Amino acid sequence: MTEQLPTTFNPAEIEARWYQHWEEKGLFRPERPDAEPFTIVNPPPNVTGSLHIGHALDNTLQDIVVRYERLRGKDALWVVGTDHAGIATQMVVERQLEERQDKRTNYSREEFVDKVWEWKAESGGTITGQLRRLGCSMDWSREQFTMDEHFTKAVLKTFVDLYNDGLIYRDKRLVNWDPKLKTAISDLEVESQNIPGHFWHFKYPLEDGVTLPDGRDYIEVATTRPETMLADMAVAVHPSDERYASVVGKHVVLPITGRKVPIITDEHADPELGSGAVKITPGHDFNDFEVGKRAGIAAGEMLNMLDGDANVCQTADGLVPEEYLGLHRFKRDGVSGARELVVQRLKEQGFLIPHITKTKKGETQELDAEPRTIATPFGDRGGVVIEPWLTDQWYVDAEKLAQKPIQQVKDGTIEIVPQSWEKTFFNWMENIQPWCISRQLWWGHRIPAWFGPKVGKDQKKASPVKINLRADSPPGQIKISTVEPSERVAFVAMTEAEAIAQAKEYYPDNFDVGVGEHDVGVPDMVRLIRDPDVLDTWFSSALWPFATLGWPNESDLLEKHFPNDLLISGFDILFFWDARMMMMGQYNMGKAPWPKLYLHGLVRAADGAKMSKSKGNVVDPLGLIDEYGADALRFFMAAMESQGRDIKMDNERVKGYRNFATKLWNATRFCQSNGIGASSTLAAPEARLAANQWIIGEVQQTVEALDAAMADLRFDAAANTIYQFTWSKFCDWYLELIKPVFAEGASETAATETREVAGWALDQIFVMLHPFMPFITEELWHAQGALNGPENGNPRSEYPIITAKWPNPRANVSKPATDAIDWVIELTSNVRSAKNELGIAPGAKLAAFLPSASELASSTIERSSAAIERLARLTPVTLGEAPDGPAMQVTAGGDVFVIPLEGIIDIAEEKARLKKALEASQKEAKSLEGRLGNANFVERAKPEAVEKAKADFAHHSAEAERLTAALARLG
């Protein structure tokens, strides 16, 4: 890429080329052993996923920070990798099998897992390729996967350590069961939705002729889930509810099952809700579970009436009638379920209390149930209603692990940006529930626990036959798969061998211990079996900040890059991922994983709706890249990212930033056509000309503003700063100001200086813009380098911009010089504006008189007459009184130019213009006068505010006077 740039900027043409160059040359992680580290870990996307607009935002922000820090000389490491995403990935592969009329259970576990690995090999590169298209400068040489061998080691170690510390335990309690995926899920994976449903009222007859004070021989209960009455174990009333005090301790006989259940008291029963009496199904409702426990029912005794598919099964007491067995819990695919049958039977038997209501026409109507909106839990992956189900699962004691992170956020060890998220964080962390981490899936990290039969102390020395817990096991051989969970003991270890060793310690000396289901002819042997479940995906990704760096092995890499410096994530995974990294970071590493957590919002559709596949309003970032270029999309994301707000998609704005890239492209072409090439110094060149000093000063201010914005992670402010500088200062003013320097016959010294300064300023733009728009800046950087390259001894063109140096102008610009340019700019704008209002052709050159010139004016007119002529189109400018006759007045600073208008314009129009300006000044002056006349203001306001008001008043009064005089002169 030398010689000439094409006349139009084509993003697609340069993007692939530069990305490949960076990656091949290892530029995303240049060797900087002595440099200060800077580390970000990428939230690992699902391995089989593809890039959506949220990834585009998340990764753009991270790349901006990483490129910025790399340019500032740090050893910047952006860890990248993918997540095995247990449920999501298994679902994808199962769906593929379904399409071929096949299913998972047609295969062995090993065969199926192999299929998932095959699928990963096939499609795992999709999203990583897409991240490259976005320009993300991650360290691909160390790409990670949460099921890499070393990662698995980290996961197992964490599990074993937590278990040994009592922070992981097995418990029988209600879990959120997804009957479609047939696995337990955590609280976070449950989404509550309000859906229309019903509230049924039933009569539960009192036993043995007992009656309520009002004579009724039944208790009325209401429920939204009638089918669960098959497993009801009590009726609860509030302890202070007088209506039922006389029957507490008595029993009701449940319709259908005939089960006798007690009437108990519990705070959970709300006297205001329905009849005040509530049916209690401890095995299928979270609240009832707690009520049941308080009533002294152990988890193991709680009745269960559903199987893993949420079909009715027989309860332990065998009281569920035959006709219910096998029915689904409720109507599904048009087929009635247990719910419908229960309602039908109760109605037939007279136990249903109808809901009486009036129609719109005022007629009384009788319904089976009261219509009601019900907050219903759904699995976020499976999409079906979650069933609270009593099972044995592994839990993390999240409450204990949460304590240190809570404190760290409170004491500032971890800063959450924007801070408003702290409250949400505390609210969740301070009420955190045990974290269910076991999943009944095949794809994932298998839990390192091996079960064997529990042995009582007295059995320790007994013969093998006596610890044979089940009749169907041959003597001396114990198959754990036939042992009730409550009769199992777990050996938790990193390896099978360690688990066996533990087991040998546990079992009587004369026992041998092995692993596996079957055993033929080996007596006196305990067969352990590994827990078939896998861990919640988030259990492994919680280790991401250090397991990706090699932990638990110690290394320089880990030492240098942990803790990380910053985490950027969407607020939607604050609890799923961020909080758990805090817990695991603290537990495993003894430290917070990063000192700062930046949370960004969601990218929404143009109408503000959440994007979703079902709504069909998903915007594909790759499509935007194809249309406008990756640089434009990235700049859009940055410019729109203000803290604490979601981003609404706006294609027009992306287009605007594509235009911005084109603007820079053309500005560079202009520079090249005037012999302006690459800079050769990091510091600003020596400059004498005012325009050059001015742009150097502006660069300096821009760098400062940009650094300030980046320090605060104000991506919008950073993007707008570089945008405004490039377009409004550099292109609109500086390039226009220097055009005369390259005119024929102009000073060669001035041209040389200007080439140096312009080339330098352009390079500073490239570097400052590079984190936001890496592709075009790299392209133009090299194009400029080709113009003033190594053949001239310029070292700058030997390295790419990605590893260039962040601007450090160290310039000393003179105030009179920059003031002069600001003055020219003001004069030019005012002249243009006046001409426009008076309908004078913009190109018309006008003579101007300056009756009393300030020092700034006279020296600027002398030194920068070419710029004044070219931009303000005033020529000649005479220092002195204007001849009599109609004229317009234009100001710059305190200087008033008189521009004769004879023959050019209608005097009336100038008078109108002056009058408008006069009114504005008078209004301002009057308001300021009023304020200054207020003693309270003068006495109590800050002195600088008073000073400013005085100065403004003086200015506006003088302006009004001047305008009045000018008007008078026009007659």
Partner RNA sequence: GGGCGUAUAGCUCAGUGGUAGAGCACUGUAUUGACAUUGCAGGGGUCGGAAGUUCAACUCUUCCUACGCCCA
* Site of interaction with RNA (CB under 7 A): 7-9, 187-188, 191-192, 194, 375, 420, 423-424, 427, 608, 610, 640, 642, 644-648, 650, 652-653, 656, 658-659, 661-663, 666-667, 669-670, 673, 716-717, 720, 727-728, 731-732, 735-736, 829, 832-833, 836-837, 841-843, 923-924, 927-928, 931, 934, 936-937, 940-942, 945, 948
Shorter beta-carbon distance to RNA: residue 390 or 825: 825
Closest distance of CB 912 from RNA, Å: 13
- Strands (E) located in 163-266: 168-178, 183-185, 190-205, 218-223, 234-237, 251-253, 260-265
Closest distance of CB 375 from RNA, Å: 5
Indicate the SS3 state at residue 252.
strand
Closest distance of CB 664 from RNA, Å: 8
Shorter beta-carbon distance to RNA: residue 240 or 936: 936
Closest distance of CB 273 from RNA, Å: 13
Shorter beta-carbon distance to RNA: residue 543 or 918: 918
Closest distance of CB 172 from RNA, Å: 21
Closest distance of CB 833 from RNA, Å: 4
Phi-psi region of 530 (alpha: psi -120 to 50; beta: other; left: phi over 0): beta
What is the token pair recorded at 192?
Answer: 């509550």
Shorter beta-carbon distance to RNA: residue 617 or 666: 666
Indicate the SS3 state at residue 939.
helix
In what order do the strands lie in the sheet containing 596-600? Answer: 415-417, 596-600, 567-570
Core vs surface per residue 558-582: b (16+ CB within 10 A) or e: beebbbbbbbbbbbebbbbbbbbbb
Nearest-angstrom CA–CA distance, 795 and 189: 55
Query: What phi and psi values does residue 90 have, to the nearest 5 degrees?
Result: -60, -40
Shorter beta-carbon distance to RNA: residue 38 or 435: 435
What is the token pair recorded at 465?
Answer: 């036959």
Shorter beta-carbon distance to RNA: residue 478 or 603: 603
Residue 351: Cβ-neighbour burial (10 angstroms; 0-12, 13-18, 19+): buried
Nearest-angstrom CA–CA distance, 894 and 856: 10
Pick the closest to residue 221 from 312, 353, 397, 26 (CA basis).
353
Shorter beta-carbon distance to RNA: residue 3 or 149: 3
Shorter beta-carbon distance to RNA: residue 503 or 717: 717
Residue that the structure tokens 């990212």 belong to? 641
Pick the closest to residue 476 from 515, 517, 521 (CA basis).
521
Contact between residue 556 and residue 34 where contact means Cβ atoms under 8 Å apart = no
Q: What is the dihedral of CA 45, 49, 51, 54, to 10 degrees?
A: -60
Shorter beta-carbon distance to RNA: residue 512 or 952: 952
Indicate the SS3 state at residue 660.
helix
Residue that the structure tokens 């692939």 belong to? 16
Pick the closest to residue 120 from 153, 147, 156 (CA basis).
147
Closest distance of CB 476 from RNA, Å: 49
Closest distance of CB 677 from RNA, Å: 15
Shorter beta-carbon distance to RNA: residue 300 or 644: 644
Instruction: Please give the full DSSP string across 74-112, using - where no structure is assigned.
Output: -EEEEE-EEB--HHHHHHHHHHHHHHTT--GGGS-HHHH
Shorter beta-carbon distance to RNA: residue 209 or 842: 842
Closest distance of CB 306 from RNA, Å: 22
Closest distance of CB 197 from RNA, Å: 14
Q: Which amino acid is at 850?
A: L
Nearest-angstrom CA–CA distance, 954 and 971: 26
Shorter beta-carbon distance to RNA: residue 336 or 829: 829
Closest distance of CB 842 from RNA, Å: 6
Closest distance of CB 671 from RNA, Å: 8
